[in-house]
Structure 1
Amino acid sequence: MTTPQQVSLDWLTDPADEGHVPADLHPEIPHPARMYDYYLGGKDNFPADREAAERVMAISPMVRISAMANRAFLQRAVRHLAGQGIKQFLDIGTGIPTAGNTHEIAQQVHPDARVAYLDNDPIVLVHSRALLAGASQGTATVVQADLRDPDAILGDPHVRQVLDLGQPVALLLFAVLHFIDESDDPYGLVRRLVDALPSGSYLALSHGTGDFVPAADATKGPAIYRNASAQLTMRTREQVLSFFEGLELEEPGIVTAPLWRPDQPILPTDAETGIWAAVGRKP
C-alpha cells in the first residue's frame, strides 16, 4: 500500500481537464492543514500553502520543529492512553495523514481499538478515507465535522456507530484549538465534549503558544494566517491549562510538546518549543 508520505496532490487533478483542481479545495487560499503538511515535509499542499508556510518560518524558524514535536507528542500520548486501557479515540482536527496515525499507534497496543477521525477539510477527508481503506485491524471512521459544533459531533451516527460514548474515550485535540477564536468560546466547546464522556475518559491536547516569541514578533505569525482559511489564536500556558479544568493532569502536567514523557534525548531547544501539551483524566 502506498504510504501517506508518497502521496502528492497530483492525483487530485484530472489530466483530461488541464490539471484542474476541484474548486472545493480552494487551492488559492492557504489552508492550515496543508501548511502543517508542508512543515512536516509532506507533498499534500499547493503553492499558496507553501508560500504562506515559508513566510511563517521566516518569522519563526522553530515552527517546523514545533510541528514535528507535536506529531511525536500525539504518538506518545496515544501510546500512553492505550497503555492505560483506552480502546476508543475521538480525534478531532486530525489533519492530513502521515506516518504513525492514531489508529495505527492504538492498534499496536489494542488490535481492536476504535477511532473516529473528524475534520472539516475535504482534502483531509479524502486522504484519511484512502488510508483507512487499507486498514485490516480494528474499526475506524472518518467524518466531516467542525469542532465548533460539538453537539453535531456527539450525535453523528457514524461516530456513534464506531464509539460507545458510555465507555471511556480519549478525546484528542492536537493543534486544532489555536484555530478556534475566542468569540467561538473554545473553552465551552471543549467542556461540552468532555462533559459528554464518562468517568475514566481522557483529554489530550496540544496548542500553539507565543510564550517563547519576542513580544515584537508575537503577532506576525497570526497575521499571515488571516489570509488563510482559518485564523490563528496563540494562547499562554495559563490559558491552555484552563482547558483541563476539573480534570486530573497526567504527569508531567502541562509542558512543551517535546518534554511530555520524551522517548528521545532532550535538546536545549525543547523547553522553548512553541507547543504546549498535556493529558488529563476525567475523574
Structure 2
Amino acid sequence: MRHSSIAAVLFLLGIISLVCAGAYFSGDLRPALFGAQDESQVAGPGIFPFGQRRDPVPGLEEANAPMGSPPPLDWPSDSYKFLAVKGDGSPLTYSPCRPIHYVVNTDLAHASWQRLLEEAVKEASWASGLQFIYDGTTDEVPSNNRAGYQPDKYGNRWAPVLIAWTTPDVVPRLDGQTVGLGGSSSIALNNGYKAYVTGSVALDAPQFGEILDSPGGEAIGIAVIMHELGHLLGLDHVSDPEQLMFDEASWVRDYAAGDRAGLAKLGTGPCSKDF
C-alpha cells in the first residue's frame, strides 16, 4: 500500500476515534456499548454511612430484647399478606426492641377521637406485641413526600408516626369511598438490613364523622383505625372476607385469626441498634 494511502487510512481512523470518544464522554454511546444503566443500581437510602446522611443517632431507645410479645394464637391461619418482604422471604418490620412513637393531627377529628384511637392502638399493640407511645398532637399534615427525619420539629430521632384526620383535598387518594390510608417508610443499611422507622395514617374526616353518626358507628370507627394500623405495621389487603384486612367494607370489627397471625410475625422481627 502506498504511503499516501496509509496516511489517509490513519487519518480517517483518527477522526472516527475522536467522534467515538466525544460520543462516549457525552453519554450518547455508553448505552450502545455497555447497555442502558440499571436504575436498581442507583444508590439509595442506607448505601452511605450515617455520617454522610441526615439521620438520627442510631440505636435511640433500642432495648437489648423485644419490649413485648404477641399472645399465643388460638389456632393457626395463613390468611394474611405482607406489604413488603425481604430477600429471605421474611416481612419488613419495625424493631420490636424500641417503641413506636406517634403524634396526632386533630384539627378535623371527631370529639371522640382519643377514645377510639386509644382502643385501636391497644388492639394493634396487643396483637403484635409492639409498644406504642403517644407524643401528643401536631400541626403536621399528611404528605406523599413526608420526611422520615424532621429534627427541627421532632428532635434528633426518626419522626413519629403521623395519624391525621384530613380531607381528599389534602390527600387525593382518599377521594371516593376510601375512608383511610396507612403505611410506613423503611431504611436500608449498608449491611443489607432493612426496617420500618416511621409511617402515617390518614383518615377522611367527613366520611369518618358519618360513620360515627351511624348505628354502631364507634365500633366501625375503631375497626377502620385498626385496619389502617394493620397497614402501618406491614399487613396488606387479603381476599378473605372474614379478616379485618379484607379489601372491602365488611362486618368484621376485630382482628381475626389471619390478621393476628400476620401481626404476630410483624411483631417478632429482628432488633437493631444500627439505625
TM class by smaller structure = under 0.3
TM-score normalized by the length of structure 1: 0.26
Structure with larger Rg: 2
Higher RCO (Cα < 8 Å, 6 or more apart)? 2
Q: Which structure shows the bigger proportion of residues in helix conformation?
A: 1
